[in-house]
C-alpha cells in the first residue's frame, strides 16, 4: 500500500529528517510505500491533522503547540521551565515518560489518533525586533505564538502581548510589523530565514520544542500485527536518528545565522535575568489546571514524576 504522511516543516528540517528516516525504514522492511507531504503541500498544521482524522492521510506530525486546542491536556508542554535544559535528562524523559507512553495515547485515541511518539526539536528561543532582558522589555511587544491557549497565557505572564498565528503567516507578519517577535528552535529560525526580519535572539531557557507523530487510529487498528510492528519499529528508528541528528544542531544553526547576519545579537539570559520569567511558572501551571481538560492534574503530576525519574 501507499501510506500518506504529512508534517509541519520542510524535508530538510527536523520533522522532515524524521519523516525521511521513517519512510526509509518502512520501505526497507516491507512492500509498503510512504508518500511524504512537507509543509505547504496540503495546508496548515490544523488542516493536515483534520485530514488525518478523516482518514485522507495515514500519518501526521503535529506539535502540541497546535494540538493543544483539540486535546487540552497537551498544553502541558507550555508550562515554562518544566522541561530540563540538560539534554541527557530531556532525552531520557522523552524515552521513558509514562505521560507520553501511557496517558497521552489514551487522550489522542479519543480524537481518533494513534500517538506513535513524541520527540524534542530543540531549545526554544525568542527572536525580536528589540532586545529582551526582562519582563518590562516585553511591554507592548506582540509575540507570535502557535495557536495554543496556554502558550498565550505564558507570554501574558511574561509581560508580552501574545498573538496566535498559524505558521504560514509568521514571516510576513514579522516583516510587516503585525507581530514584533516569535519563539522557535534555532534550526528553524535559520532554515526559514526568520533572522532576516528580526534583530535579536534571546535564550531564556524556558522550553524545548516538543512534537508528535500520529496515525489515523482506525487505519492503524485495522492493520495486521506485522504492519503495526513495522510502524512501531520505524518510529523507534526515526526517534533514535532524530536525537542523534540534533547533536550540536542548535550551536551550528546559531553560527550560520550570525554568519548570514552579523548584526544580529544572540543573548543568553543569566539565572538572575531568568528569575522573573521562571517565577511565572506557578501561575501558568494554575492556568493549565483550569483550562487543561479533565485529566490536567493527572498529566501534570505524572509529568513531574517522569521528570524527577529522568533527573536521577
| Residue choice 51, 52, 63, 153 for contact with ligand 6CS (CB under 6 A) | 63
Q: Please, what's the largest Cα pairwise distance for the chain?
A: 58
Rounded CA separation 281/269 (Å): 17
Residues 6+ apart with CB under 8 A from 50: none
Tell me the number of residues near ligand 6CS by CB under 6 A: 11
Residues 6+ apart with CB under 8 A from 27: 33, 34
Work out how close the CB of 184 gets to ligand 6CS at its nearest, in angstroms, rounded to a whole number. Answer: 5
293 binds ligand 6CS (CB under 6 A): no
123 binds ligand 6CS (CB under 6 A): no
Q: Would you state the cell numbers that stand for residue 125, as one nine-digit string?
A: 528561543
Among the residue ranges 89-97, 182-190, 275-283, 285-293, the one whose residues contact ligand 6CS (CB under 6 A): 182-190
Among the residue ranges 112-120, 180-188, 267-275, 301-309, the one whose residues contact ligand 6CS (CB under 6 A): 180-188
CB-based closest residue to ligand 6CS = 167
216 binds ligand 6CS (CB under 6 A): no
Asked if 79 and 278 touch (Cβ cutoff 8 Å), the reply is no
195 binds ligand 6CS (CB under 6 A): no
Residues 6+ apart with CB under 8 A from 225: none
Q: Is the dihedral of CA 291, 110, 231, 31 positive or negative?
A: negative
| Residue choice 184, 202, 208, 246 for contact with ligand 6CS (CB under 6 A) | 184
Q: Which pairs count as long-range contacts for 246-255, CB under 8 Å and 24+ apart, including other chains?
A: 246/14, 246/120, 246/121, 246/122, 249/14, 249/122, 249/186, 249/187, 250/122, 250/123, 250/185, 250/186, 250/187, 251/186, 253/185, 253/186, 253/187, 253/189, 253/190, 253/191, 254/186, 254/190, 254/201
| Residue choice 26, 70, 74, 146 for contact with ligand 6CS (CB under 6 A) | 146
37 binds ligand 6CS (CB under 6 A): no
Work out how close the CB of 183 gets to ligand 6CS at its nearest, in angstroms, rounded to a whole number. Answer: 8
| Residue choice 8, 123, 285, 306 for contact with ligand 6CS (CB under 6 A) | 8
CB-based burial of residue 18 (10 Å sphere; 0-12 exposed, 13-18 middle, 19+ buried)?
buried
Nearer to ligand 6CS, 121 or 123 (CB): 121
190 binds ligand 6CS (CB under 6 A): no
155 binds ligand 6CS (CB under 6 A): no
| Residue choice 16, 38, 185, 293 for contact with ligand 6CS (CB under 6 A) | 185
Nearer to ligand 6CS, 185 or 292 (CB): 185
114 binds ligand 6CS (CB under 6 A): no
Rounded CA separation 131/265 (Å): 8
What residues make contact with ligand 6CS under the rule CB under 6 A?
A: 8-9, 45, 63, 121, 146, 167, 184-185, 188, 209
Amino acid at each position: 500500500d501507499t501510506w500518506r504522511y504529512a508534517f509541519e516543516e520542510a524535508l530538510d528540517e527536523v520533522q522532515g529528517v524524521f519523516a525521511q528516516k521513517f519512510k526509509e525504514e518502512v520501505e526497507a522492511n516491507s512492500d509498503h510505500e510512504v508518500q511524504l507531504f512537507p509543509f505547504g503541500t496540503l495546508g496548515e498544521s490544523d488542516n493536515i491533522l483534520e485530514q488525518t482524522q478523516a482518514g485522507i492521510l495515514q500519518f501526521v506530525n503535529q506539535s502540541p503547540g497546535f494540538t493543544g486546542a483539540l486535546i487540552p491536556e497537551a498544553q502541558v508542554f507550555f508550562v515554562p521551565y518544566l522541561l530540563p535544559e540538560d539534554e541527557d535528562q530531556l532525552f531520557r524523559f522523552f524515552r521513558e515518560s509514562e505521560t507520553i507512553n501511557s496517558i497521552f495515547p489514551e487522550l489522542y485515541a479519543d480524537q481518533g489518533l494513534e500517538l506513535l511518539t513524541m520527540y524534542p526539536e530543540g531549545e526554544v528561543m525568542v527572536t525580536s525586533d528589540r532586545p529582551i532582558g526582562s519582563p518590562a522589555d516585553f511591554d507592548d511587544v506582540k509575540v507570535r505564538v502557535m495557536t495554543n491557549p496556554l502558550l498565550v497565557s505564558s507570554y501574558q505572564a511574561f509581560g508580552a502581548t501574545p498573538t496566535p498565528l498559524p505558521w504560514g503567516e509568521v514571516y510576513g507578519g514579522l516583516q510587516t510589523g503585525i507581530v514584533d517577535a516569535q519563539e522557535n528552535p534555532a534550526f528553524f529560525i535559520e532554515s526559514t530565514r526568520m533572522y532576516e526580519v528580526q534583530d535579536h535572539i534571546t535564550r531564556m531557557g524556558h522550553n524545548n520544542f516538543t512534537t508528535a507523530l500520529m496515525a489515523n487510529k482506525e487505519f492503524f487498528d485495522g492493520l495486521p500485527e506485522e504492519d503495526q510492528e513495522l510502524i512501531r519499529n520505524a518510529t523507534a528508528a526515526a526517534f533514535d536518528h532524530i536525537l542523534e541528528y540534533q547533536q550540536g544542531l542548535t550551536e551550528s544553526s546559531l553560527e550560520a545565522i550570525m554568519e548570514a547576519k552579523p548584526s544580529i545579537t544572540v543573548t543568553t539570559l543569566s539565572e538572575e535575568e531568568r528569575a522573573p520569567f521562571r517565577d511565572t511558572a506557578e501561575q501558568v501551571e494554575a492556568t493549565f489546571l483550569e483550562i487543561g481538560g479533565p485529566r490536567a492534574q493527572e498529566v501534570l503530576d505524572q509529568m513531574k514524576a517522569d521528570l524527577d525519574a529522568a533527573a536521577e
